[in-house]
Amino acid sequence: MYRKKDDLEHLIQSLTSSEKSYLTKAFKQSKEDSMYVTLYEQLQRAKSLMSLPSCQLSGKVLINKKYVLYETILKHLKQMHSKLSHDVSIQNLLADVEILYNHSLADQAMLLLLKARKIAGTHEKYGLYLQILNWEQKLSIVMDQPMRPIEAIRSEEEEILAKNAQINLLLSFYSQIMLLKKQHGYAKGTIKDELNVQVINHPSFPDRQECKSNKATYYHSLILSIYHWMTFDHELAYQYSKALIQDDNQNILPSDYINGLFQHITSSVCVKKFQDALQGIHVAQAYMEEYKLNQSNAYRQLFFAYSSTYKLVIYGYTGEKEKLKEAIHDAEHQLEIWLDFIPIELRQVISGNIMNAYIAIGDLDKAQVMWNQLFNRQSTQVRKDIYADLYLFRLCFLLQSQTYDLIPSASASAQRFYRNTDENKAQFGLESSIVQLFIKDIDYSSEKVLSPLLHRTTMLLENYILQVRGGTGFQEHYTRYIIWITAIERKIPYYKAARDWYKQHGNA
């Protein structure tokens, strides 16, 4: 790879105000060539080299000056950030160790190496730690009085390798559970069995007390939070996700820490801690900006997915109609921007929640359009739980819109899907029991006929939610159907029924 001609301009444009201030002082103190200083100052003000007002440079001279200025800026930035980044601090110390070693000053090098080892150990920089131990062996060989025997160094090396291996093992389990979550969402029946075999009950999956490092403990908690979310034990999922944001996060990759934040947002919603979830969204946005994750399209997409989805869910449950309208508008606008790039499973999640939000504000026509888009894609292999939910949604939609003549056929179609395979039977037993109530071709327009069926539907939902392990009487996926059935029965808008529900049940 080669540098592009505008790399210098992009580097200067990316500088923070504190970095610019540091560079200005550094240039003056180090008495850099005035030509470099002038070029730097002009590039700060100009949009491009073509607009430089007084630049007399051209050709190879300009190319060389730009190259040297680029290297000089990086040199000063490295000095500035050496106090902020543990990686940079260790690498700089190792560079000094090598220089001193090459000058036959092993004793002096060892002092710096011990400092580097302390930083690497405290912050679990195991890759760098192994380099430090390698240097310690080199220095010990040539020192008259080494700090410790070679055998002790190699023993510690084995410990570090074991810690690193455990982290990599947990990362593989994390990848596996995320794949299953992407494919199935919630796990019931055979999916739960598969989840247990491949992750939680796997012989290599460690207990918490067996975790050898803070990193290992973090990934262990992250995996268990996702597992308990998938298996509906949301109280326990919340306890594990809460630990993710309370623990020291300096040793965790920013990408994995933001995933932990997203998991905590999810768990907070699932236990009705809606303000915690909204606060988590703000924290995640600030964290992405601080650690430059917003320069990644993948993480910008992920943040959009979590932010939009849970604002739609939260305002749907609190019955805040105007905020919900705004959330729908923002979600649709962002979805249009990212449509060709965002993964299909995220599109499904966002679109499904937009559909639910349209029901909440009473726009049945747009909800019908969203349902058609989701159902006709036939994407049953991606987030199968969302596809399956469309059948139950359809039944409630027909009840809401009083399209009673289609209810028996829609229920029969749903029943065929829910009983299509043994896996479906195990996973969608509740849904199957509900649609079974509406398969008969009877007069659903009669209140005497419909009211008992709606009551039995509510009872099925409430009993299921109460029987879920770790249940709190709330289940984000199913409680909305209780609210919807209530709205249908009372003949009021969904958002009003949600507002009433939240006043009674919303305090987590």
pLDDT in tens, 176-195: 999 888 888 888 888 899 99
- CB atoms closer than 10 angstroms to residue 391: 22
Token pair in block for residue 115: 């400092």
Token pair in block for residue 122: 């405290």
Q: What is the H or E stretch that residue 494 is in? A: helix 494-505
* Residues contacting residue 209 through CB under 8 Å, at least 6 positions apart: none
Q: What is the mean pLDDT of residues 83-87?
A: 72
- For 434-491, how does the pLDDT look when each residue is reduced to its tens digit (9 = 90+)? 999 999 999 999 999 999 999 999 999 999 988 876 556 888 889 999 999 999 999 9
Range in 91-95, 344-348, 465-469, 500-504 the model is least confident about: 465-469
Closest CA to 184 of 140, 251, 231: 231
Confidence of residue 57 (pLDDT cuts 50, 70, 90): low
Q: Chain-centre distance of CA 194, in angstroms?
A: 23
- For 256-286, how does the pLDDT look when each residue is reduced to its tens digit (9 = 90+)? 889 899 999 999 999 999 999 999 999 999 9
Say yes or no to pLDDT of 222 above 60: yes
How many Å apart are CA 341 and CA 297, to the nearest integer? 9
Say yes or no to pLDDT of 208 above 60: yes
Range in 102-106, 120-124, 263-267, 340-344 the model is least confident about: 340-344
* % of the chain at pLDDT higher than 90: 58
- Total count of residues recorded for the chain: 508
Specify the residue for token string 């199913």: 478
Say yes or no to pLDDT of 247 above 60: no
How many Å apart are CA 400 and CA 489, to the nearest integer? 9
How many Å apart are CA 215 and CA 31, to the nearest integer? 44
Q: How many helices (H) and strands (E) does the chain have?
A: 24, 0
Confidence of residue 248 (pLDDT cuts 50, 70, 90): low
Provide the mean pLDDT of the chain.
Answer: 87
- For 157-168, how does the pLDDT look when each residue is reduced to its tens digit (9 = 90+)? 999 999 999 999
Say yes or no to pLDDT of 393 above 90: yes
Token pair in block for residue 346: 């995220």
Q: Environment class of residue 380 by beta-carbon count within 10 Å: exposed (0-12), middle (13-18) or buried (19+)?
A: exposed
Stronger pLDDT, 454 or 253, i.e. the higher one: 454
In degrees and rounded to multiples of 5, residue 212 shows phi and psi of -95, -5
Closest CA to 86 of 251, 289, 216: 251
Token pair in block for residue 388: 């399956």
Kindly give the residue spans of alpha helices, DSSP state H, lying in 185-213.
Answer: 190-195
Say yes or no to pLDDT of 55 above 60: no
How many Å apart are CA 450 and CA 34, to the nearest integer? 86
- The answer to whether the CB of 387 falls within 8 A of the CB of 409 is no
What is the predicted pLDDT for the residue at 87? 83
CA dihedral over 181, 182, 185, 189, signed as positive or negative:
negative
What is the predicted pLDDT for the residue at 329? 97
What is the predicted pLDDT for the residue at 177? 93
Q: Chain-centre distance of CA 391, in angstroms?
A: 29
Say yes or no to pLDDT of 381 above 60: no
What is the predicted pLDDT for the residue at 32? 55
CA dihedral over 43, 46, 49, 55, signed as positive or negative:
negative
How many Å apart are CA 155 and CA 161, to the nearest integer? 10
What is the predicted pLDDT for the residue at 76? 78
Token pair in block for residue 336: 């249009």
Q: Residue 30: what residue type?
A: S
- The answer to whether the CB of 161 falls within 8 A of the CB of 147 is no
What is the predicted pLDDT for the residue at 53? 44
Say yes or no to pLDDT of 40 above 90: no
Q: What is the mean pLDDT of residues 53-58?
A: 51
What is the predicted pLDDT for the residue at 280? 92
How many Å apart are CA 153 and CA 141, to the nearest integer? 12
DSSP code at position 205: P
How many Å apart are CA 182 and CA 192, to the nearest integer? 14
Confidence of residue 31 (pLDDT cuts 50, 70, 90): low
Range in 54-68, 172-186, 293-307, 429-443 the model is least confident about: 54-68
Confidence of residue 49 (pLDDT cuts 50, 70, 90): very low
CB-facing half-sphere around the CA of 493: CA atoms within 13 A: 16
Q: Residue 309: what residue type?
A: T
Confidence of residue 51 (pLDDT cuts 50, 70, 90): very low
* % of the chain at pLDDT higher than 70: 90
**Domain-by-domain residue ranges, the chain?**
7-81, 86-148
Q: Environment class of residue 491 by beta-carbon count within 10 Å: exposed (0-12), middle (13-18) or buried (19+)?
A: exposed
Confidence of residue 200 (pLDDT cuts 50, 70, 90): very high
Confidence of residue 81 (pLDDT cuts 50, 70, 90): low
Confidence of residue 34 (pLDDT cuts 50, 70, 90): low
- The answer to whether the CB of 220 falls within 8 A of the CB of 170 is yes
Closest CA to 165 of 199, 122, 204: 204
What is the predicted pLDDT for the residue at 256? 84
Q: Is the pTM of this model over 0.85?
A: no
What is the predicted pLDDT for the residue at 437? 96
Q: Chain-centre distance of CA 481, in angstroms?
A: 27
Question: For the packed helices 59-81 and 7-14, what is the interaxial angle rounded to 10 degrees?
Answer: 30
